[in-house]
Structure 1
Amino acid sequence: MTDAPADTQKPEGARDYKGTVFLPKTPFPMRGDLPKKEPATLARWAAQDLRGQLRERSRGLQKFVLHDGPPYANGPLHIGHALNKILKDVINRAAQMSGKDADYVPGWDCHGLPIEWKVEEEYRAKKMDKDSVPILEFREECRAYARKWLDIQREEFKRLGVLGDWEDRYATMDFTSEATIAEEIGRFLMNGSLYRGLRPVMWSPVEKTALADAEVEYHDVTSPTLHAAFPVVSTRAQGLDDARVVIWTTTPWTIPANRAVAYGEEIDYALVHVDGIEEGSRLATGDNLIVALSLLPAFAKEAGLAAHSVRRVIKGTEFAGTILAHPLRGWAAGQGAYDHDTPMLAGDFVTADAGTGFVHIAPSHGEDDFALGRANGLPVPEMVGDDGTYTVQAVGFTGLHVFKAHEAVWAALETMGTLAAKGSLKHSYPHSWRSKKPVIFRATPQWFIAMDDANQIRAKALQAIADTHFVPDQGRNRIGSMVAARPDWCISRQRAWGVPIAVFVEKKSGEVLRDPAVMDRIICAFREEGADAWYKPDAAARFLGNARNPDDYEQVMDIVDVWFESGSTHAFVLPDHGLPFPADLYLEGSDQHRGWFHSSLLESVGTRGIAPFKAILTHGFVLDESGRKMSKSLGNVTAPQEVMKDYGADILRLWVMNSDFADDLRIGKTILGQQAELYRRIRNTLRWLLGSLEGFTEAEKVPYADLPELERFILHRVAGIDARIRKAAADYDWSGVMPEIHNFCASDLSAFLFDIRKDSLYCDRPDEPRRRAARTVLDILHRCLCTWLAPVLVFTAEEAWLARFGEGTDSVHLQTFPEIPAEWRDDALADRWARVRAVRGLVTGALEKARAGGVIGSSLQAAPELALASANADLSDLPWAELCITSDLFLLDSVPTGEGVEMAPEAAVRFAPAPGNKCERCWRVLPEVGRSAAHPGLCLRCEAAVG
C-alpha cells in the first residue's frame, strides 16, 4: 500500500485537512508481543470456560472424533510433540468451525519399560536392588513418576493453545483404563485367539524383556562374521561324500544352537576343490567345499583361496535328504552336546544375495529358523538366558555373554577344523530405543494373539485398511505390507509396571482358564483398585473363587505390551466420554504404521471386527535446518518451550501449518524468523482491516448486486479460499492452505484491494457508495480472515476479533466459518480481472520507471496514456485511474507514439504527467484544484467531503 495522505507533510502555507481524513484507527497494535499476551488469553479462556461454552453450543451437532494417540509421560515436550498436538488442534478446531461437535480428549501412555527403567535408575543410584522392593511399592513409585510428567506435559500442551478436555484427560494407568485393558485381553482369551507359545522374539538382554517392533530402532554396528564348514554325513547327491557345506553368519554366537542348514531349491551351487591357499587361510589344499556358484568369487577372496576348481554344479533340490555334522561335533569341551545330526532343509527365504547361499538354522534365534524348524520337528533349545548369557544347554560356553562369544566360538571351530573364515561387517542392527543397546532374537515362552485362527485378524485387518482413508495415501501400502507379513502378535512382557495378562493356567493340563466369571471378578477389582489388585497376596484365591484350588493354577505375572494398551484406548476413551465408535481420525507420526496405528487396528479388529478409525493421517519427523536429526550433542535441538518464550505459540503453530507435514519438517532460527515475517504480514493485514472498519455499522452495508467489480472479484477470491478451507477440514489435507491465505493477504488485499481503495476509504464522504461498498467487503474480509485463521493462529485471531467487537462479545472460537453465497463464485469475473491485473501491472511498471528516474515522486503525479489490445477492449469501461492509483488516465483508441511507450500483448502505455494542481487533502493532481472559493486547495470531491 502506497501514497497515503498521512504519509507526508502538507505543502507549506496549506490549510491542515488532516483531521478530515478518515485514517485507520484501531487498538490492535502492529507488534504481536505474543509471549506476553498469550498466557493472559489462556487465563481468560479458562475463566470464561470456553470449552464448556463450545460443548453447550454443540449439543445435537454431528460429532467429530479425533482420537488422541497417547504420548509417553516421561520428560518434557520436544518439538515433535508440538508438531503433533498443534496439527491435531488445527484439525479439531476446523471441524468445530465447520459446524460439528469436535470434542478432544487428550491422553497419556503411562505404563511400560521407559518409566520402569527410570525408577530402576534411581534405585541403582542408591545402590539398591529393585527386585528386593515389594512390587506394589515399586509400582506406586512408577505411578508417581508418570503422574509428575503427565502434569508437566499437560501444562505445556495447554500453552501451545491446544483446546481439549484437560481436566478429564485419559491415562492408561487410571483404574478404569487398567480394568478395560484387562477386559480387552479377556476378549481375546474368550474368543480363543490368546495362546501361550514358544517362538523367537526380539529380546533386550539389558532390560530382560521381549520387545515389539515399534520399540526397536536400527543403528550401524560392526559385527563379527563367520564362515563355518559342515561336513556331509550322508547324501543322495553324487560326489559329495567328502565335501563340506559352508555357511556364513553375522551372529557367530548362534552356532551352538544350530539344528539344520537351509538351502534354496532353485539356487545353483558349486562343488569347489581347493587347489591352493593363500597365507593365513584356514582351509587346506584338497578341501571340497560347497557354496553358491554366484557367490564363489567373493567367498574365495574372503577364505583365502589361491586356486580352486569347480568339480560340478549342483541344483539346490539335490540336497534333499542330506545330513550334515554340526561343526562342533566331537569337540571335547562340548562333551558330546553337539554330536547330533544336522539335516539340510529347503527354505524359501534363502537367497544368493550374500554369504554362501546357505543359512544355518538356529530355531531358538530366528523367525525363519523357528518356522522351518517347527515344520520339520526340530528341537528349540533354550541356549540363552534372560540376561544374554549362555545357559547350561550351551555346553562349553555356559555363562558367556553372547555379544562377547565370537572369539570363543571361532576358537572352538578352529580346534575342530571347521572354521573356514572369520571377519567383520558393518551393518544395521536392531537396538532397544530405550536402553540404546543391541537386542537378540530369543525363543521364550510368550503370550501371543493369533493372526490367522478362526478370528481371521489378518484378513479382517487388511480389509479394514482397504476401507480406510489415508492422508497421504501411501500410508495404506506401508501398514498393509506390515500386516500382511507380520507373525502372531507377541503381547507379553517380563516387567512389573503395567497391566498384567490377568489369566490363569491349569498346571496339570497346561490349558489357559477361560471362565467368564473369573474374568468378571478380575475386571471389577481392577476398576476399584487398579491392576495392583493382581499383585496382592490373596489375588489367586480371590479371583478363582471357592470352586477352584489356587495351588492347581499358575497365576501369570507377565504384563501386557504397552502397544496393546495404547491400542485398546478406543475401548475406554470413546465410550467413557460419550463419543461414537469408530473414531473419525487417528493422527500420528509416520512411524506409527508399525506402532499405534498397527496395534489399534489389530486390537479393534480382533475384538470388534472393524478398525477403530475411519481415516489415518501421518506426519513426518522434525529435523534441523540442515536436514539433520536433532541431537543435544550436535547442539541443534529446537525446544518448543524456547520458541514460545522467544516468539509465541502462534509462530510455532504457523510453522506447522506452513510446512508440508506429510514429509519431514525442518526448523531452526532462520526458519522461525521467516515464519515471524509471514506472521507480521498477516497481522498487518488484520490491523489495516480493523483500522479501516472503525465505526462501521450494519446500515452501511451494500447489497452484493450493487458492489463494484473490484469488490465482487475479491468476494470471488473469498469464495475460493473458503472452499479450499472447507475441503481441508473435510479431507484433513491442509497442505498449501496457509500459504494461500498469506498470498491472499499480501497480493490480493495489501498490494491490490487496499492499495486501490485506501483513497476512497480515507477521503470519500462516509455516505459515498464506493466507500460503503469497500467497507462492506472489508467487514466480510475481517470476519472471514478471523475465522479462517482461528484454528491456526488461535491467539491472534481472538485478539483481532475482540479488537473489533469488544471483550464482552463471544470468542472467535465460538463462531463457525461464514456461509459464503454461491453467487460470489464468478469464474468469468475472475478471468476478466486476471486481464485487468495484467494491464495494471504494465501501467504500474511504467510509473515505477518514472519514479526511479526522478520524474515523479508519487503515482498520483501521473496521468498515463493507455491503449488496450483488442482482446481487452471490454475493459475500457473500468475506472483505470482509480485502479492504477493515478490522478487521471487517458484511454486511447490507438497505440501511443513517441518515447517511453511500454508495449505488451495486453496493452500499450506511455507515461505522462498529470495536469493541474495537487489537492491538499487527497494529493491527486487535477485541473479542478483551485476552483473552490471556500477551499481553493481541494479538489471537488474533497470539498464536498469537508463541507
Structure 2
Amino acid sequence: MCAETTDTPDYKDTLNLPKTDFPMRAGLPKREPDWLNRWARIGIYDRLRERAEGRKPFILHDGPPYANGHLHIGHALNKILKDMVVRSQQMMGRDARYIPGWDCHGLPIEWKIEEQYRKKGQNKDEVDVVDFRQECRKFAEGWIDIQRDEFKRLGITGKWEKPYLTMDFRAERIIAGEFQKFLMTGTLYQGSKPVMWSPIEKTALAEAEVEYHDKESFTIWVKFPVLTEGDLQGANIVIWTTTPWTIPSNKAVVFGDSFDYGLYEITATPEECWASVGDRFILADKLAGDVMTRARLDDGMWKRVRSVSADELSGLSLAHPLAGAEGSNGEWDDPRDFRAADFVTDEEGTGFVHCAPSHGMEEFELYRDLGMLEQVITYNVMDDGGFREDLPFFGGTYILDRKGKEGNANKAVIDKLAEVGGLLARGKIRHSYPHSWRSKAPVIYRNTPQWFAAIDREIGDGKDEYGKTIRERALNSIDQLVTWTPKTGRNRLYSMIEARPDWVLSRQRAWGVPLTCFTRVGALPTDPDYLLRDEAVNARILEAFETEGADAWYKPGAKERFLGNDYDSSEWNKVDDILDVWFDSGSTHAFVLRDREDGSDDGLADLYLEGTDQHRGWFHSSMLQACGTIGRAPYRGVLTHGFTLDEKGNKMSKSLGNTVAPEDVTKQYGADILRMWVAQSDYTADLRIGPEILKGVADGYRRLRNTMRFMLGALAHFEESDRVDPSAMPELERWVLHRLAELDHVVRKGYNAYDFQGVVQQLFNFATVELSAFYFDIRKDALYCDGDTLRRRAARTVLDILFHRLTTWLAPVLTFTMEEVWLERNPGEESSVHLVDIPETPADWLDEPLAAKWAKVRQARRAVTAALEIQRTDKVIGASLEAAPVVHVRDPEMLEALKSVNFEDICITSDIRLTGDPLPNEAFRMPEVEGVGVVFERASGDKCQRCWKILPDVGLHSHAGTCKRCNEALG
C-alpha cells in the first residue's frame, strides 16, 4: 500500500504491515535435518515421557520390519501412519509410547549371507553354525543402523536409542520361553504332513512367507487302467494334473459320488494321437468333450457307451500307469486305492483326482481320517527338490534347478508316461502359483516331519475366558476384544483363522531361535514320553540364552549342559530346527509390551498397525501365539493400510522403473511433503504416488504455509495486554471461535478414529478457504490500518488462538513445519510444539444461532464478490474498494443480518447499500444464492491515501488525504 501522488505524505510506514522472518520458501530438504538434530539434543522423546507421567498410556506396538535393505515407500507409509497415531494421542493427553523394533532372524537375512558364500564359491553347510549365525547377526546390525537413520529422517519419534530387536539376548530368551509354554501345555507336537516347501532354501515355509505369481506349468491327462474283472476291465480312469512330478508318488485316485460318469470308446483317431481305436475311458460326462478335444479327438471319433454309476466305480481297483514297466523294480505294481472324496469337482479336469498324499493337503487329510497314512505316504522327494537316487527312472532328477527355474523332473515323468502308453494328452497352463517370498522361486508341497502347534487341542492352562483352544480363543478375541480399522479387517482375519490348519513352527535353517526341546531316542512322536518336559531343563536353557543368546544351543556340549545330571544325554536327541520367524515376531508382545519398563501396563497393545498382507502375517501369528500363552489377543485394536502403487495404479517394480524411494522424496521436497501425502490419502485402500501427485501435495502445502505465514506476520509484537475476552469481541471473531470449537471436536474425534484424511481435509479447507479467503481477507484492513481499536485487538487475539490450535492440530502430520511455526513465536532451546498438548477449547465458544446468521452473511457475500469479479474482469474497476453496490435481499431475516455486521467491510467495498426492494431485472444473481441481487455502483468520494477506501470524507481531516478512521489512527 502506498500513496499515489506526491501531494500527500507516504503513509506506508504508518501501516501495521505483517512482520515475520518465517520464509515463504520452506527449504525443507535442507532445514529438516537441523530440527532432527535439535530434537535429539533436547531428548524430546524422554522429555515427553517425563511430562506424561501419570497419564493413561497409549501403546502402539511396532510391527518389526526386516533388517535387510533400504526403506521403500511402503515402509515410509507404515511408519508415518504410526507416528501420526502416536503424536496425536500424545497431544490429546495420553502417554503415547513408541518403541521401534526389528525382525532380525530368518530367511531374509540368512539368504543374504548365503548369497555372499555362493559368490565366493563356498558352501554354507561347511561353515561352523555359530560362526554363520554371528555373520547373520553382524549383517542385521548394519542394516538396523541404516534403517534407523532413514526412519528418523521421516520425522518418526520413538525410543530409537533402545529399540527392540528379536536377536537381543533377552528377546531370544523370552522367545524360547514362549515356545516352552507350548511345549509344557501339550500344544506342541511333531507330525509328518505336506507343508509348503522351498527346494531352493531347503526349508518349510508358512503361508505368510509365500506370494503368488503367474507360472507356466505342464499339464497332463494320465490313464489309470481298471484291474477289476468285468466289462470295465481294461478301460482307463483318466486324471488331470498340473504337477506331473507327483505321479511317481501317486497312491490313489478319487471321484465324486454325485457326478454323472460315462464309459466312452474311441472309434477313430487322427495321425498324431496317444489314443487308439477301441480304447475306453471313464470320464465325468460334463468334462468328457473337453478331454477328447485335449486328446485331439474330434466329435466323430468317440462315442458314449453307457453310464457308470458311483456304486459301480466304488467297486473298482486301478493300476498305476507305470505298473509293470521294465526297470521299475515293482515300485508301482501295487493296485491304487479308489474311492469317493468330497473335494473332487467337475469344474475342470476329468472328474477324477489323482492322490499323492505326501504332496497334497486334501489327500493327506482324507487318508489321515481313514487311518491309512502308512499305506499312502511316500518319501520320494528330497529337501532340495530332487527325487531320491534309487527311485526308478527318475532318481537324481529335480523339480527345480539350482536357480529356481523348471528342472528336469516333469519332463522325465511325461516322457516315461508317453513311453509306457500311460499318457492321453499333454499341454501347458498359466496359473497363479505359490513362490517363496525371499528367493522368488516356486515352492512345492512336500511331506516332511515338522513341529506343529495344535490349534484345536485343549490347552489346559486355565486361561479359558475366551476358549479352551487356540482357534476358539482367537475367534472370540476377534469379535469380543478387538476394534478393527477398517472393519473389513475383522472378516479377513476371522475367515483365515477359522479355516487354517495347525501352525508349522519348525524351519530347517540356522539363523533364528531354536526349538528348545529334546526327544527320546527310539520313541515315536505319538508316545507320551517322546518330548522331555522338565522345568529345570527349561530354566537352564533360558538362563544361558539370557547371557549368551540362542547361540548357546549350538555350542559344543550344549545337550549335556542343558540336560544336566538328571538325564542320560545318550537317551535324548536335541532338536536343531529353528522357530518360524513369525513365531519370533508373534512373541514380541511378550518382550516389548510385557517385559520392558516402558511397555504396556497390562501387557497388551492399544493398536497394531500394518499393511493388509499382515492379516496372514503379523496380525495372524501374534494372535495365535498370544492365544496359546496368555489366552487372548495381544492387541485391542488393529489398523490396516493398503499397498503403494504408481500414479497409474500399477504395482511398483524396479524393472518397470516406477518406484518412489522415500530418500528421493525427502531430497526433493522434504519429509513433510511425504507425511502430508500419507495424511491426505485414504489409507484403507491402495495408495497412489508419483511425481505429479507429489507436485500437487507440494502445491497444497505451500497454500497452507502461506496461511501460517500471514498469521505469524499479523501477530508480530502481540502481548497479553492486547488480549480481548471473547464476550467483548465482534461477531466475526466470535464466529471464528465457534468454528474452532467445532473443529476441535472434529480433530479429536478424527484422531481417535485414526481418520487423518478427514482431519487434514477439514483443517486444510478451514485454513485456505475460511481463513485465508474469508476471515484474513476481511480483517487485513483492520489489522493493517486500524489504530489500537477493539476490532484490531480482537482480531489479533483470535489469530493467537488460531496459532495455538493450528500448530498443535497439525503437528502430528507436519512435524517439521509446525515446529518451525511454533519456534517463530516461542524461541528457546527447550521449546517445541511437540512438548505441548492440543489446547482445551471452551464449550461456550459454540454459538449455533451466530453460526446460522453468519451462514447467511457468507452466502450473500458470495453473490456480491461474484458480481464485482465480473466488473473487474471487464476492467470497469481495478479493485473491489472502487465499488459501492446496491444489494437487494428478498429474505427479511437475511437483510437484518447483513445490516447488523458492516457488510461493506465483509465484502471489502468502500460502501454498500442494503435494501429489501424487489430485485431489478438488471441485478446480478447467483443461482445458488436464492433471493439476492446485486446492482453495481461506483463508490463516491476520494481515495484515502492510507487505506485506499473511496469515501466522501477523505481530505476533511488533519492528516492530508485520509479518511476519518485513518486520521484517528495517525493521532
Q: Which residue of the partner structure matches residue 803 of structure 1? A: 824
1:714 corresponds, among 736, 758, 761, to 736
- Contact 1:260 / 1:361 at 8 angstroms: preserved in 2? yes
3-state SS of 1:546 partner: helix
Query: In the alignment, which residue of structure 2 is the partner of 1:545?
Result: 564
1:788 and 1:817 in contact (8 A); partners too:
yes
User: Which residue of structure 1 aligns with residue 902 of structure 2?
Assistant: 879
The equivalent residue for 2:335 is: 341
Q: Which amino acid aligns with 1:525?
A: A
SS at match of 2:74: helix
For 1:604-623, what aligned pairs fall within 5 Å after superposition?
A: 604-623=626-645
Residue 527 of structure 2: aligned partner:
none
d(CA) in 2 for partners of 1:836 and 1:465? 51
Cα offsets for 1:853-901 (capped at 9, x unmatched): 1111110010000011226234232221011000010011203536454
Report if the CA contact (8 A) 1:55-1:103 is conserved. yes
Q: Which amino acid aligns with 1:156?
A: E
How many angstroms apart in 1 are the aligned matches of 2:506 and 2:260?
Answer: 42
2:448 corresponds to which of 444, 448, 451 = 444
Post-superposition offset of 1:374: 1.7
Match of 1:354 among 342, 348, 367: 348
Give the 5 Å matches for 1:756-905: 756-766=778-788, 768-808=789-829, 810-870=831-891, 872-876=894-898, 877-897=900-920, 899=922, 901-902=924-925, 904-905=929-930
Q: What CA distance in whole angstroms lies between the structure 1 residues aligned with 2:133 and 2:830?
A: 49
TM-score by length of structure 2 reads 0.95
- Equivalent residue for 2:470? 457
Number of the residue aligned with 1:636: 658
Q: Output the CA distance in 2 between the equivalents of 1:315 and 1:778.
A: 86
Give yes or no for the alignment of 1:746 onto 2:768: yes
Gaps of 5+ in 2: 400-406, 460-468, 525-529
Indicate the SS of the match to 1:421: strand
Structure 1 residues 252 and 98, CA gap change in structure 2 (3 angstroms): same
Q: Which amino acid aligns with 2:25?
A: R
The residue number in structure 2 matching 1:737 is: 759
What is the aligned counterpart of 2:940 among 893, 915, 929? 915
Shift of 1:315: 4.8
The structural deviation recorded for 1:770 is: 1.2
Counterpart position of 1:515: 534
User: How far did residue 726 of structure 1 move?
Assistant: 1.0
Instruction: Give 1:58-457 correspondences, 5 Å limit.
Output: 58-234=52-228, 240-306=232-298, 307-316=301-310, 318-376=312-370, 377-378=372-373, 379-392=376-389, 394-402=391-399, 403-455=407-459, 456-457=469-470
Secondary structure of the corresponding residue to residue 775 of structure 2: helix
CA distance in 2, matches of 1:312, 1:906: 85
CA distance in 1, matches of 2:46, 2:396: 62
Q: Distance in 1 between matches of 2:969 and 2:565?
A: 97
Distance in 1 between residues matched to 2:191 and 2:848, nearest whole Å:
66
Checking the alignment, whether the CA contact within 8 Å between 1:902 and 1:910 is kept in structure 2 is: no
Any conservation in 2 of the 1:219–1:430 contact (CA below 8 Å)? yes
Give the partner amino acid of 2:857: V
Report the alpha carbon displacement of residue 809 of structure 1 after superposing the two structures with TM. 5.5
Distance change (3 Å), C-alpha of 1:297 and 1:63? same
* Residues 463-474 of structure 1 mapped to structure 2, 5 A cutoff: 463-467=476-480, 468-474=482-488
- More off after superposition, 549-558 vs 903-912: 903-912
Amino acid of the structure 1 residue aligned with 2:946: R
Q: Is the 8 A contact 2:890 2:917 kept in 1?
A: no
**2:683 counterpart letter in structure 1:** F
Q: Distance in 1 between matches of 2:6 and 2:346?
A: 93
Q: Taking structure 1 as reference, are residues 314 and 894 closer, same or farther at Cα in structure 2, changes over 3 Å only? A: farther
Contact 2:889/2:919, CA 8 A, preserved across alignment: no
Partner of 1:675: 697
State the distance in 2 between where 1:315 and 1:62 align: 70
Tell me, in whole angstroms, the C-alpha distance in 1 between the residues paired with 2:58 and 2:747: 17
Q: How far apart, CA to CA, are the structure 2 residues paired with 1:829 and 1:278?
A: 90
> 1:735 aligns to what SS in structure 2?
helix
Separation (CA, whole Å) in 1 of partners of 2:850 and 2:309: 75
Q: Indicate the residue corresponding to 2:510 in structure 1.
A: 496
Q: Could you tell me how far apart the structure 2 residues matched to 1:315 and 1:912 are?
A: 97
One-letter identity of the residue aligned with 1:509: A
Deviations 1:246-305 (A, max 9, x none): 110000000000011121222222222222223322112222212221112211211122
Q: Please give the secondary structure, in 2, of the residue aligned with 1:583.
A: coil
- Residues 918-927 or 894-903, more deviating: 894-903
* Counterpart in the other structure of 2:967: 943
Question: C-alpha displacement at 1:827, in angstroms?
Answer: 3.5
Greater Cα shift, 813-822 or 320-329: 320-329
Q: Determine the C-alpha separation between the residues in 1 that align with 2:3 and 2:367.
A: 93
Identify which range, 366-375 or 80-89, moves more after superposition: 366-375
Name the aligned partner's letter for residue 380 of structure 1.
Answer: I
2:627 is aligned with what amino acid?
Answer: V
Aligned-pair identity in percent equals 53
Q: Is the 8 A contact 1:302 1:421 kept in 2?
A: yes
* Distance in 1 (alpha carbons) for counterparts of 2:922 and 2:125: 95
Counterpart of 1:930 in structure 2: which amino acid? G
Q: More deviation in 791-800 or 303-312?
A: 303-312
Q: Secondary structure at the match of 1:276?
A: coil
Partner of residue 684, structure 2: 662
Q: After the TM superposition, which of the residue ranges 274-283 and 632-641 deviates more from structure 2?
A: 274-283
8 Å Cα contact 2:510-2:578 kept in structure 1: yes
Q: How far apart, CA to CA, are the structure 1 residues paired with 2:853 and 2:195?
A: 67
Distance 1:536 1:898 in 2: 98
What is the aligned residue count?
Answer: 937
- In the superposition, the TM-score normalised over structure 1's length comes to 0.97
Contact 1:802 1:809 in 2 (8 A): no
C-alpha separation between the residues in 2 aligned to 1:914 and 1:808?
53
Q: Give the drift of 1:565.
A: 0.4
- Structure 1 CA distance for aligned equivalents of residues 504 and 46 of structure 2: 42
Change (3 A) 1:826 1:359: farther
For 1:829 and 1:481, how far apart are their aligned partners in 2? 52
Query: Structure 1's 289 and 642: CA in aligned 2 closer, same or farther, altered over 3 A?
Result: same
Deviation at 1:821, TM superposition (A): 1.6
Letter in 1 for 2:491: N
- Cα separation, 1, equivalents of 2:769 and 2:903: 19
Please say if residues 266 and 317 of structure 1, whose CA atoms lie closer than 8 Å, have aligned partners that are also in contact: no
In structure 2, the residue matched to 1:691 is 713
Residues 3, 12 of structure 2: 8 Å contact kept: no
Cα distance in 1 for partners of 2:805, 2:285 equals: 72
Distance 2:665 2:310 in 1: 62
Q: What is the root-mean-square deviation of aligned Cα atoms in Å?
A: 1.5
Q: Which moved more, 1:718-727 or 1:886-895?
A: 718-727
* CA distance in 2: counterparts of 1:488 and 1:313, whole angstroms: 41
